[in-house]
Structure 1
Amino acid sequence: MSSTPVLSRALILLMATATGLAVASNYYAQPLLHSIAEHFGLSTASAGCIVIAAQLSYGAGLFLLAPLGDLFEQRRLIVSMISIATIGLLISAFSPSLPWLLLGTTLTGLFSVVAQVLVPMAAGLSEPSERGRVVGTLMGGLLLGILLARTAAGFMATLGDWRSIYMLAAALMALSAIALYRALPQRQQHAGLAYPALIGSVFRLFAEEPVLRLRSLLGAISFCLFALFWTPLAFLLKAEPYQYSDGVIGLFGLAGAAGALAANWGGRLADKGKGAQGTTVGLLVQLLSWVPLAFAPTSLAALLAGVLLLDLAVQLVHVSNQNAVIALRPEARNRLNAGYITCYFIGGASGSLLGTQLFQAWGWNGIVIAGLGIGVVGLLVWWLGATKLCRSELSDGRPTLRRLAIDLGVSGGLSKRWSTSPLKPGLPP
């Protein structure tokens, strides 16, 4: 039961849509935090717990559930996970109190990691020469889901109240489960391990694969910056001089949706062997985006420019990371991806927690200072980590080219050039 047909464009689009819907389930609350806080009588920090619960549960699901793609038949697993996430959305829609909302949020977060079963499955079904593009397309769907979730939540709140988006999302998730059951091929890639050993093997992959450690740390830093900005944004836009409604706040997701373009671009760079360059560009733009964001409290143009730059950069780094990780061991794609994405969303949860606390204590200035500092750390981690990888691969004064190309996402002409001249220690990728 392990056929590998070439993915049709329609199936790729369906999988990207399902990926976006699944991940969107964790972000509907963000533009509605002010309204939810008023409804339940919560403080800013308490309302932020909803976002933190979504991201922590997603991280737990990534670690505990996403590796099951290397154990069970993938189509059945995907449909089952979407169905349970739908139940969580319904609990959130009808929650009478904050604990019930947190329960629904946690259940949805745990099982919406189905997105990270879909991505490795798509990578396994695609031709090697097209893999970067396919992964980039699904990750574009993921980013659109994250960003347009805010727009949809704000729009639905203007039509009804904050609960209405959860009802709509549950209906869309149920439809996606039916469509995927009908369209996906049956596919099983059994790792030959019992569940405890399967989970333990994720730790072993971290111990054995330095590129997984480096890319996971970069992903955590990148998504921390993303969440650091987006989590407190609703509170900034509710205050003077903006004083926007939930619907208008949700529209800011459209400004960041252009980041989906970077997903496809990042995938194509990886296919051309330029993943390392994409990572470097993404990290630089990620840092520079905080310059216009510093003027966000007084300038709408600066805010929109910063949103566009930050989301483009975060997505470019993420797709470059994910393509490099998935290429390491094809037989362990789900576990490699689960380890990487777990760290990624732990970074997001940390950013959300940091964002709500900093905004409450020091306002937007605290957010900007933290963003600049974390952006600098990201660049330093990439420089030092890539340099260490190059040095560790030196053998008689030359790198092990094939391994280095996989690790850094570099191949083609660059590898050919290195094959004819020794790589000097400390040379950045």
Structure 2
Amino acid sequence: MGTGRRLLLAVVCGVAVAGVYAAQPVLGPMGHDLGVPERLTGWFVAAGQLGYLAGLVLLVPLGDVADRRWLISAHLALTAAGTGLTAAAPAAWAAFAGLAVAGLFAVVVQIAVACAASLSPPDERGRNIGVVTSGVVVGILGGRVLAGRLAEEWGWRSVYAVLAVLALALAALVPAALPADARSRQTYGRALASLAGLFRERLFLTRGLVALFLFASFGVLWSGMALPLSGAPWHLSEAQTGLFGLAGLAGALGAARAGRWADAGRADRVTVLALALLAASWLAIAQLPRSLWLLAAGVVVLDFAVQAVHVGNQHTLTAAHPDRASGVIGGHMVFYSLGSALGAAATTVAYTAGGWTTSSLLGAGCALAALAVAVLGGRRLYARRR
């Protein structure tokens, strides 16, 4: 697992996940162009998340069945098909379909993370997962910056056209760059049964519920923020809104650092502290109508906290199930996808009903729920070990 392969897998993750989140800074123009009311534009993001949810259940287990390098390549090619369909969409239904397809095959992210975990010695697993996961952060947040800029220059459709080209290029590169997959394999049916069995495990459910509330809070911010920023008093353009992704790139630092903390055995402690930071970040984010500087500070803290918890979760679960890394990561990400979809759909409704204050209360509530699950679940697991 050399530097070149780590970086390649990080880029794969970034491009794939950008197809799911690139709509966030351009919800306004997408909705206007395709005839979707403002209160329903959050469903552009939710469509990708629901496709992602289906892929986590149906496609990620293939990572424990097939050669991962060819599986990654195929998923990237099909992700390109979904983003290409979105770019050419003549109506809302086609855009929703394209985003759902892009989300379905964006689960290549989990296969890439599992590949990194399986190629890593135990004492470097957290570090390598952290580096690859940082590609997800750059894809989500840097993709917003790129999407805002492209949309302002050439329209929102250009965002998806560029992502389609990048995904196709990576699909051609991956088979030559990654090693042959010499693992012993299981059948698809057994992989699905193994995934179902995880949902009866206390550690898995605790980490999963933390992820659900964690990414619901994340989705509330990033799927709802463009609406108040485009209105009074700020009236920011798509490109200016996308620049807030630069503040969120602190999450990439959080992902890389959290991997080292996890390798040192501090994943549980870091999870609780990071969730407390997440809840506190909403105090600054709620000031959006009054201060962009406080908003930016809150975004930095929120994204750092989210990625620190996310990497800690993945490290803990893959260490507990080293023989089925793809399945356990895919199962865990079911909660992630549900949380992101719920946050994306709920925040536009909350904003329409009560403004940014209502959206902020929703985001903070999700963060506090994640903290409560982590504390109570951690105590029960500790008691069982004793």
Tell me the TM-score range normalised by the shorter chain: over 0.9
How far does the alpha carbon of each residue in 1:11-63 deviate from its partner, in whole angstroms, 9 at most, with x for none?
11111111111111101111110011111222112222111101111111111
How much does 1:158 deviate? 1.8
DSSP-derived class of the 2:41 partner: helix
| Aligned amino acid, residue 15 of structure 1 | L
SS in 2 for 1:289: helix
**Contact kept? 2:83, 2:99, Cα under 8 Å:** yes
1:183-214 per-position Cα deviation (integer Å, ceiling 9, x unaligned): 01111544433x3332122111221x321111
Q: Is the 8 A contact 2:49 2:103 kept in 1?
A: yes
1:177 paired to 2:171: yes
1:230 to 222, 225, 232: 222
Q: Does 1:280 align with 2:277?
A: no
- Using the alignment, how far apart are the partners of 2:228 and 2:192 within structure 1? 41
Residue from 196, 212, 216 that aligns with 1:220:
212
Alignment partners' CA distance in 2, 1:371 and 1:22: 25
Determine if contact 1:69/1:189 at 8 Å carries over to the other structure.
no
Match of 1:266 in 2: 258
User: Which residue, out of 67, 89, 93, partners 1:95?
Assistant: 89
Deviation readout 1:107-148 (Å, 9 max, x if unpaired): 111001101101011110011111100000011110110111
Structure 1 residue aligned with 2:198: 205
- The share of aligned pairs that are identical, in percent, is 37
Separation in 1, partners of 2:186, 2:222: 41
Shift of 1:355: 0.7
Matched, 1:166 2:142: no
* 2:68 maps to 1:74: yes
Query: Which residue among 2, 5, 9 is the counterpart of 1:8?
Result: 2
Give, in whole Å, the separation in 2 of the partners of 1:377 and 1:341.
Answer: 18
Unaligned regions of 5+ residues in structure 1, if any? Answer: 1-6, 395-429
Cα contact 1:227–1:351 (8 A) shared by 2: yes
Paired residue type of 1:271? D
1:346 matched to which residue of 2?
338
Task: Supply the AA of the counterpart residue of 2:34.
Answer: F
Identify which of 37, 44, 54 aligns with 1:50: 44
Determine which structure has more spread, i.e. the larger CA radius of gyration: 1
Which residue in the other structure is 2:29 paired with?
35
Counterpart of 2:298 in structure 1 is 306
**How far, CA to CA, are the matches of 1:198 and 1:319 in structure 2?**
23
Is the Cα–Cα contact under 8 Å of residues 32 and 153 in structure 1 kept in the other structure? yes
Shift in CA distance, 188/97, structure 1 to aligned 2, threshold 3 Å: farther
Contact 2:35 2:92 in 1 (8 A): no
In structure 2, which of residues 17, 20, 35 is the aligned counterpart of residue 23 of structure 1?
Answer: 17
For residue 106 of structure 2, the aligned residue among 89, 112, 135 is: 112
CA distance in 2, matches of 1:90, 1:183: 25
The question of whether the paired residues in 2 share the 8 Å contact of 1:286 and 1:313 is answered with yes
Asked if 2 retains the 8 angstrom alpha-carbon contact of 1:279 and 1:320, the reply is yes
Question: Would you say the 8 A contact 1:283–1:317 is kept in 2?
Answer: yes
CA distance in 2, matches of 1:259, 1:355: 21
1:375-413 CA distance string (max 9 Å, x none):
22222111110111111122xxxxxxxxxxxxxxxxxxx
1:370 aligns with 2:362: yes
Q: SS of the counterpart of 1:126?
A: coil
Q: Determine the C-alpha separation between the residues in 2 that align with 1:361 and 1:200.
A: 42
How far does residue 168 in structure 1 lie from its aligned partner after superposition? 0.8
SS in structure 1 opposite 2:61? helix
Residue 144 of structure 1: aligned partner:
138
Cα distance between partner residues in 1 of 2:331 and 2:146 = 30
- Letter of the structure 2 residue corresponding to residue 129 of structure 1: D
Correspondent of 2:186 among 186, 192, 196: 192
Match of 1:355 among 347, 351, 365: 347
Contact (CA 8 Å) 1:48, 1:356: kept in 2 or not? yes
Q: Give 1:277 deviation, angstroms.
A: 1.6
CA offset digits 1:144-166 (Å, max 9, x no partner): 10111111111111221110011
CA contact (8 A) 1:227 1:348 kept: yes
Q: Secondary structure at the match of 1:25?
A: helix
Q: Which amino acid aligns with 1:251?
A: L
Greater helix percent: which structure?
2
Distance 1:158 1:246 in 2: 6
Aligned twin of 1:291? 283
Q: Which runs of 5+ in 2 are unaligned?
A: none
